[in-house]
Amino acid sequence: MIATDALAATGARAAHAASLDLGAQRKLELWLDLLAKWNRVYNLTAIRDRAQMTTHHVNDALAILPHLPQAASLRVLDIGTGAGIPGIPIAIARPHWQVALLDSNQKKIAFVTQAAAEIGLANVTPIAARAEAWRAGEPFDVVVSRAYSELAPFAKLAIRYLAADGRIVAMKGAYPAGEIAALPPEIEVLATPRLDVPGLDAERHLVVMRPVRR
C-alpha cells in the first residue's frame, strides 16, 4: 500500500480541485491496492506501475469534476467503465452522487463490485451488460465515458439514458477535431476544455455535449 502522503503529493492539485478529504484519499488508495492486486491475475488495465495508476487513473478521473454539473445530488452513468474509470474516483470524491458502472466484461464488473464492497461505496451500482442492450430504470444527469468509442456512436448511445437537461461527457486525449465534425446534427457541443492532469505529461480533453433542444 502506498502512503497517503504519497498519494496526496502526486495528486495534490487534482485532490484540491475535487475537495477531497483524508477519508476519500484513503479510499482511492485502497482502490489502487485492489486494482494492483486483481490486475496481476485478470489484466484489468495495461498500466502496471503504481505511480502511473495514480496519474493515469485517479488524477485523470478527478480532473473532469470541475466540468460536471455542480449539484449536491447527481445520477452518473459510466459507460464502458472497465476497472471503474472514471466512475469509482468520481463516486469517492462525490459520495452523495449515485454512480452506475456499466461494462459487458464480467471480470471487470466482478472487480468493481468487490472493490465497491470493500471500500464501502454505497453510492456505486455495478452493471454487467452491453450498453446497447441495457435498459435503465431512471434517466441520468451525466453519461460519461473514457475511450469507449468515437464521439458520434457514444453520443447516440448516451442519449437513451440521459435526463431531459443532462450532459454527455467524453474523455479524450488530443483534441478530437475529426470526431467533433462527424457528430450528427442532433448533438451539440457545449465545451471542449483542455484538462490539466497532475503528473500526466500528455494531452487530455473533455467533450461536453447534449441533444439539440428543439
> CATH no. for residue 174?
3.40.50.150
pLDDT band at residue 10 under the 50/70/90 scheme: very low
Q: What are phi and psi of 48, to 5 degrees?
A: -105, -30
pLDDT tens, position by position, 34-45: 999 998 888 788
The number of domains in the chain is 1
Region 15-22 average pLDDT = 66
Q: pLDDT tens, 140-159?
A: 999 999 978 899 999 999 99
**pTM > 0.85: yes or no:** yes
Quickly state the pLDDT bin for 5 (edges 50, 70, 90): very low
Domain that residue 112 falls in: 4-211
- Bridge partners of residue 143, in order along the sequence: 77, 168
Q: What integer pLDDT is reported at residue 197 of this predicted model?
A: 87
Residue 45 CB partners (closer than 8 Å, separation 6+): 35, 39, 53, 57, 82, 83, 85
Residue whose C-alpha is closest to residue 3's, from 50, 61, 52, 62: 50
Predicted confidence (pLDDT) at residue 12 exceeds the cutoff of 50? no
